[in-house]
Amino acid sequence: MLRGMPQGHVPRARARFQLRLLVRIGFILAVALFAAVALGQRWLQVRSSLGRLDARHVGLAVACAVLSLLPALLAWRELLAGLGSRLPLPAAARVFYVGQLGKYLPGSVWPVLAQMELAREHHVPRSRAAAAALLAIGTGLVGALLVGGALLPFTVDSTRARVVLLAGLAVSLVVASPPVLNRVVGVGLRLLRRPPLDTALTASTELASLVLSAGSWLLQGLALYALASGLAGDGWRLLALCVGATATASALGILVVIAPAGIGVRDPALVAALSGVLDPGEALVAAIGVRLVLSVADLVVGFGTGLLGGVARAAIPAPETVVEQEQEQEHEQEQEQEQEHEPAQEPSGRST
């Protein structure tokens, strides 16, 4: 019997543990299925054109895609630390990369839920993990708009589209400012009936995360450039176009929340942007090729991190650990509720 647990509570604790295990296994299988379908649909289109790309360009694209995952991890870790929970880098990598596999499921909620569950095993409150995940998505959007806005003359020819993009950038910068952002997070947590955060996000944390997110988009743009330059030759204009188009198309993919990993939104936007420099066939090969490279990088790093880090040890604890953590969290929630309902003590004004 578990320490301090009545005998009747043990079966329920084990049942909750088994249910969590089944949910995690189902999550991994669903991710693998959706990702395989997405990659399979694009593989038929890419296969006939891969012969035009040599190993040097493909290898450079793969290297940039893998490297782009590091600043994304550091941006999320910085936000989580700014909210009060700094994880060691190996633990942060397991939570972030395994959780990010959820973006291949329809809807933007899956990475958030996965990171909440995985971070909980490292004593991170769910409300804090949810806030960090949502803030990372928002920071990624602002970082993409910043990179896309800086390279706007190379990526968008339409004046109306430029005005819309710049307006979106201005609004996102206002919302991303710490005073506004902290209030937005507070309102969101109240709507979710979660306790408020005990640490407000600072400007330095927000700026560091924003710079790291922009670095991630830059590396993804370089991955696209590595493939496009293999089809149409090198050039500074093509480099600026690839980086700016990647950031702008990624921002659109983030905004369309029902598209898993921006599939169906980002690719057509990239093809449209690249068609001004490449012919339509080359633009299609480059856009689908970089999607394939980025997806493979996500899956290899995500599954590899989970396996090498020991998913059974780090993300799926023993039932005893689950029960002890649940007791601690329930006790903390009871204390918070008591503090909320405790009437303020008024001075009696009497003299003894």
Average pLDDT of every residue of the chain: 76
Cα-Cα-Cα-Cα dihedral sign, residues 158, 163, 164, 165: positive
pLDDT of residue 42: 57
- The DSSP annotation for 274-330 comes to HTTTS-HHHHHHHHHHHHHHHHHHHHHHHHHHHHHTTHHHHTS--HHHHHHHHHHHH
Inform me whether the pLDDT recorded for 1 exceeds 50.
Answer: no
Inform me whether the pLDDT recorded for 62 exceeds 90.
Answer: yes
Distance from C-alpha of 161 to C-alpha of 228, rounded to nearest angstrom: 24
pLDDT of residue 321: 42
Distance from C-alpha of 101 to C-alpha of 69, rounded to nearest angstrom: 12
346 versus 101: the higher-pLDDT residue is 101
Structure tokens that stand for 267 in this block: 């690719």
Cα-Cα-Cα-Cα dihedral sign, residues 329, 333, 336, 338: negative
Which of 21-30, 57-66, 140-149, 280-289 is the most confident on average? 57-66
Distance from C-alpha of 306 to C-alpha of 314, rounded to nearest angstrom: 9
pLDDT of residue 183: 81
Q: What are the tens digits of pLDDT across the range 203-255?
A: 889 899 999 999 999 999 999 999 998 887 778 889 999 999 999 888 888 77
* Cβ–Cβ under 8 Å, residues 243 and 17: no
Q: How confident is the model at residue 348 (pLDDT cuts 50, 70, 90)?
A: very low
Nearest to 222 by CA among 249, 245, 201, 195: 245
Q: How confident is the model at residue 148 (pLDDT cuts 50, 70, 90)?
A: confident
Using only the alpha carbons of the chain, give its radius of gyration. 23
pLDDT of residue 192: 64
Q: What are the tens digits of pLDDT across the range 275-317?
A: 878 877 778 888 888 988 998 999 999 888 877 765 444 444 4
Give, for 161, the enclosing helix (H) or strand (E): helix 159-176
* Cβ–Cβ under 8 Å, residues 105 and 302: no
Distance from C-alpha of 228 to C-alpha of 290, rounded to nearest angstrom: 9
Inform me whether the pLDDT recorded for 325 exceeds 70.
Answer: no
pLDDT of residue 320: 42
Nearest to 124 by CA among 189, 197, 187: 197
pLDDT of residue 312: 41
* Cβ–Cβ under 8 Å, residues 146 and 207: no
* Cβ–Cβ under 8 Å, residues 134 and 188: yes
Q: What are the tens digits of pLDDT across the range 119-134?
A: 888 889 888 888 888 8
Report residue 210 CA to chain centroid gap: 13
User: What would the mean pLDDT of 13-40 be, rounded to a whole number?
Assistant: 64
Nearest to 218 by CA among 242, 236, 237: 242
Least trusted range by pLDDT, from 144-153, 218-227, 339-348: 339-348
pLDDT of residue 323: 43
